[in-house]
Amino acid sequence: MQSHRLKLALPLAIFVALLVFAACSAPAAPPVVQTVVVEKVQTGAPVVQTQVVEKIQTSAPVVQTVVVQATAAPAQAPEAFVFGAQGEPVCLDPAVITDGISGRIINQVYEGLVKFDKDTTNPVPALAKSWTTSDDGKEWTFKLQEGVKFHDGTDFNADAVVKNFDYWGNTKNPQHDAQIKAGQTFEYYEAQFGGFDENSIIEKVEAVDPTTVKFTLRQPQGPFLNNLAMFVFVFASPTALEKYGVDTCKNPVGTGPYKFVEWKPNEQVTLDANADYWDKANAPKMNRVIVRNIPNNSARLLALAAGEINALEGMEPRDVAAIKDDPRFKLLLRPTNTTGYLAFNYNVKEFNDPKVRQAFAQAINKKAIVDALYGGTGLVAKELQPPSLWGYNPNITDWAYDTEAAKKLLADAGFANGLSEVTLNGKKVPLELWYMPVSRPYYPNPKDIGTAMAADLAKAGINVSLQTVDWATYLDRRAKGELPLYMLGWTGDNGDPDNFVCYFFCMSADDKPLSREGFVNDKELSDLLKKAASTIDKAERTKMYQESEQMLHDKILRVFIANNQPPLALGANVEGYIPNPTGTEYFNTVQVKAAQ
């Protein structure tokens, strides 16, 4: 028996030693792999889901491989820039999409009248050379670039602009109708311009002459230019639109610096440089751009370390610090455009007392959460708008973290013994804090953040039970007003304050509270925001949005937790990558140099 056990023990030891050796063959510490099992249990439902999330820490610098070539020829500069995306693009027809992965590819292939400048959300000329606005803000006249051609040879002119706007906003347009019948939605057009046909803010778009286009609006729209700069309002070749119809998704034809070559599902999208690109000063620097779909965060980082991709998005917070100090990589932080918050459901009776809300605001130690759980890319948030937006109010002082003050506020509100039960729609329910089951830019690890908040709240006498459910159900139940207290956030679409503040706090046309902001009923705020949305003067608008932030702060309508600057990792030889706050940058400036 003794010898048999020994026989088993020795090979086991050797095998373990081999494994350890394999992992340690790099000169530094072995990578630490953590397996986190997140149990997602929805109470009262029969489904129990277990999601296994794997996290790998590549703190171990990998062996630096020096390829010694016999001929010692100088290394060739790579032909292609390969970007590692987190998932699959949905569709490459800008009119019908909302997802950023498609958006990033679309940004390289198509162009609109204006685009976002470098790392800001300021609209600058693209296919429009210049523009003028009438005094009442209802007429916009754009002068177009001359001699621009789509990738299929079709001329870009005022007529092409008119045809694209007709495709997006006219439900009787045959291509529009075909898309709707195929189950697509023109979601962003509806959201940004108020609807279709007569409901749209855009009354008509006319070609004055081949290089002049005139927009007539039904009412002035503050964020008009910012809306036009979004990746969805870019122009497809009218010839191609007619030819491909609903298959434009797979056949994008624009005027951009790169043109579409092929899309291999679940693998990659390949683009080639547009040799005839009109803007010679901004001509593409690479022959080819490849966007590869690598769903697993760790595998994507390993692909960068192996030199198979040149850049990536989507990193575990714990990997960020390691990348920062590794000379083989560059770490870029995207200017923040995203805010994570804790939302009150105003159908909960207790949350209608400002003292209770203030107790929440003062009980949570935001700074500790940001420092510990954002991998160094987070910022403490005190407003709904991130600091990069021009409606941000620099003069607001955040509620101080003060557990004692929070306790006292609760006592004043009649909860001297703490708060662990609330009244939702007249029914007593346990106070649940819902955290999202998925990582989003504003909350990279919602469970950890939720747990930290719950611990802070408990110190002040607020006892929450943490709950989650799968993402679809989460959003569904939140829209139905079933979650008393929940974590969620927002990432800006068009860089305009309206898109943050009005989206949540403008009430419906008939002044009803909306479900998406937890049924906040504040007409004063809503009126101010609606006024700001129809004002054109930027200075005036700035003042109004700053005032709205002051109101949000004073009334503590929500608790804003953090802004995040989503990290991007690049190979050390990648230059000219300028991350844009909107999350979809232009690749024409990107260059991959020969490896050192």
| Residue among 305 and 536 whose Cβ is closer to other proteins | 305
| Stretch 291-310: interaction string toward other proteins, x if CB under 8 A | -xxxxx-xx--xx-xxxx--
| Number of residues this chain uses to bind other proteins (CB under 8 A) | 79
Q: Report in angstroms how near the CB of residue 573 gets to other proteins at its nearest.
A: 16
* Distance of alpha carbon 351 from alpha carbon 422, whole angstroms: 9
- Of the candidates 182, 142, 171, 169, the residue with the CA atom closest to the CA atom of residue 158: 142
Q: Report in angstroms how near the CB of residue 506 gets to other proteins at its nearest.
A: 13
* Distance of alpha carbon 188 from alpha carbon 392, whole angstroms: 24
Residue from 20, 261, 479, 594 that binds other proteins (CB under 8 A)? 479
Residue from 470, 482, 521, 576 that binds other proteins (CB under 8 A)? 470
* Distance of alpha carbon 316 from alpha carbon 318, whole angstroms: 5
As beta bridge partners, residue 270 has 262, 290
Query: Site residues for other proteins, window 58-87 (CB under 8 A)?
Result: 58, 62-63, 65, 79-80, 82, 87
Q: How many residues in total does the chain contain?
A: 596
Q: Report in angstroms how near the CB of residue 165 gets to other proteins at its nearest.
A: 22
Tell me which residue has tokens 């969805």. 232
* Distance of alpha carbon 519 from alpha carbon 507, whole angstroms: 9
Phi (first) and psi of residue 449, to 5 degrees: -65, -45
Cβ-based neighbours of 564, under 8 Å, separated by 6 or more: 336, 338, 340, 374, 377, 378, 379, 441, 442, 443, 444
* Distance of alpha carbon 370 from alpha carbon 374, whole angstroms: 5
- Which range touches other proteins (CB under 8 A), out of 8-16, 120-128, 389-397, 421-429? 8-16
- Of the candidates 441, 448, 433, the residue with the CA atom closest to the CA atom of residue 340: 441
Residue from 154, 173, 451, 473 that binds other proteins (CB under 8 A)? 473
Q: Report in angstroms how near the CB of residue 287 gets to other proteins at its nearest.
A: 10
Q: Report in angstroms how near the CB of residue 46 gets to other proteins at its nearest.
A: 7
- Which range touches other proteins (CB under 8 A), out of 210-218, 289-297, 373-381, 401-409? 289-297
Q: Report in angstroms how near the CB of residue 419 gets to other proteins at its nearest.
A: 28
Q: Report in angstroms how near the CB of residue 197 gets to other proteins at its nearest.
A: 15
Query: Site residues for other proteins, window 85-104 (CB under 8 A)?
Result: 87-88, 90-91, 98
| Residue among 328 and 530 whose Cβ is closer to other proteins | 328
Q: Report in angstroms how near the CB of residue 191 gets to other proteins at its nearest.
A: 7
| Stretch 265-284: interaction string toward other proteins, x if CB under 8 A | xxxx-x--------------
Query: Site residues for other proteins, window 11-50 (CB under 8 A)?
Result: 11-12, 14-15, 22-23, 25-26, 31, 33, 35, 42, 45-47
Give the DSSP H/E element, type plus range, for residue 554.
helix 538-555
Q: Does 322 bind other proteins (CB under 8 A)?
A: no
Query: Site residues for other proteins, window 485-544 (CB under 8 A)?
Result: 488-490, 514-516
| Residue among 33 and 455 whose Cβ is closer to other proteins | 33
Residue from 177, 206, 476, 511 that binds other proteins (CB under 8 A)? 476
Query: Site residues for other proteins, window 191-220 (CB under 8 A)?
Result: 191
| Residue among 213 and 232 whose Cβ is closer to other proteins | 232
Three-class SS of residue 261?
Answer: strand
Q: Report in angstroms how near the CB of residue 418 gets to other proteins at its nearest.
A: 31
CA 558 to chain centre: 20
Q: Report in angstroms how near the CB of residue 496 gets to other proteins at its nearest.
A: 16
Query: Site residues for other proteins, window 341-360 (CB under 8 A)?
Result: none
315 with 294: CB under 8 angstroms?
no
Q: Does 290 bind other proteins (CB under 8 A)?
A: yes
* Distance of alpha carbon 578 from alpha carbon 564, whole angstroms: 17
* Distance of alpha carbon 414 from alpha carbon 400, whole angstroms: 22
Q: How far apart are the first and last CA of the chain?
A: 59
| Residue among 79 and 404 whose Cβ is closer to other proteins | 79
337 with 492: CB under 8 angstroms?
yes
| Residue among 65 and 397 whose Cβ is closer to other proteins | 65
87 with 303: CB under 8 angstroms?
no
Q: Which long-range contacts (CB under 8 A, 24 or more apart) does 411-419 make?
A: 412/355, 413/350, 413/353, 413/355, 413/356, 413/359, 415/350, 415/356, 415/461, 417/461, 418/461, 418/462, 418/463, 419/350, 419/356, 419/461, 419/462, 419/463
| Residue among 33 and 124 whose Cβ is closer to other proteins | 33
Residue from 162, 180, 372, 396 that binds other proteins (CB under 8 A)? 180
Phi (first) and psi of residue 196, to 5 degrees: -110, 170
As beta bridge partners, residue 34 has 55
Q: Does 366 bind other proteins (CB under 8 A)?
A: no
Query: Site residues for other proteins, window 367-386 (CB under 8 A)?
Result: none
Query: Site residues for other proteins, window 246-265 (CB under 8 A)?
Result: 246, 249, 264-265
* Distance of alpha carbon 73 from alpha carbon 552, whole angstroms: 63
| Residue among 111 and 493 whose Cβ is closer to other proteins | 493
| Residue among 205 and 384 whose Cβ is closer to other proteins | 384
| Residue among 22 and 455 whose Cβ is closer to other proteins | 22
Residue from 1, 8, 68, 400 that binds other proteins (CB under 8 A)? 8
| Residue among 158 and 342 whose Cβ is closer to other proteins | 342
Q: Report in angstroms how near the CB of residue 513 gets to other proteins at its nearest.
A: 13
* Distance of alpha carbon 221 from alpha carbon 96, whole angstroms: 22
- Of the candidates 193, 220, 211, 201, the residue with the CA atom closest to the CA atom of residue 134: 220
